[in-house]
Chains A and B, each alone.
Chain A
Amino acid sequence: MKADQRLDCIGLYCPMPIVKTAERIKQLKQGQVLEVVADDIGIKGDMPAWCEATGHEFLGLEAAAGEIRVYVKKTHD
């Protein structure tokens, strides 16, 4: 999936990927996509929940070789 920005959360555990996502999403423009790369599997459940709470759109996740990539579309400022 194509993304406008990439956030590296390899080696970080809950809640840091979510805390960093919340910070980074501020830098994106509305409609842009953020790719978060993590290796803590907690992100599989955490990111959809974060999107539901904040209203941003969860576009999906790709898991490969111990790496989880999740995609979030910024829907509002």
Chain B
Amino acid sequence: MVVAEKEKMSLVIYSGNLDSALAGFMLATTGASMGMEVSMFFTFWGLNIIKKNEGGIKSKGLVRKMLNFMNRGGSKRLKMSRFNMLGMGTGMMKGLMKDINMPSIDEFITLAKSIGVKMYACTTSCGMMGLDESSFRSEVDDMVGAAFFLGEARKSKVSLFI
């Protein structure tokens, strides 16, 4: 059999909500399972999904420190885009996810990594928000720019903005 070059799929993960993150990782892991080479580009609020859960986020300057304090992020701190209700709604949703054996975002990140999904952080958002490699979990492959994303996207059969 002739081994064809793998089809590509590229996702922009702009939103940092639990529900958006779920949609992103469901498609990414399905794409990888269908034999596609999947890249996820996390930008703006989406960066919250891949911030490390433990420890502090180090950043310089008062405004950035405040931003990363109020907007701490981390896969375990994501909230629903609607019906958060001071965390009650998000807690209930996590219960429902567990009820149907759906992986948590944390488990989805581990799963995605294990089946070859690439995860990238947007350098511009990082610069603005005062984030660097040390802000992110180890599964993140690299920090890249918009041209790198478009380079992947133009070769992709599937490209989505989430």
- A and B together in one complex: yes
Residues on A close to B: CB < 8 A?
11-16, 18-19, 21-23, 49-50, 53-55, 76
Whether B34 lies near A18 (C-beta < 8 A) is: yes
Report Cα–Cα, A16/B22, bound state, in Å.
Answer: 13
Residues on B close to A: CB < 8 A?
1, 7, 26-27, 29-30, 32-36, 100-103, 111, 115
B contacts with A: majority SS: loop
Whether A19 lies near B33 (C-beta < 8 A) is: yes
Report Cα–Cα, A50/B26, bound state, in Å.
Answer: 14
A contacts with B: majority SS: helix
In the complex, chain B residues whose CB is within 8 Å of the CB of A11:
100-101
In the complex, chain B residues whose CB is within 8 Å of the CB of A23:
33, 115
Report Cα–Cα, A49/B103, bound state, in Å.
Answer: 22
Report Cα–Cα, A50/B32, bound state, in Å.
Answer: 11
Report Cα–Cα, A19/B115, bound state, in Å.
Answer: 9
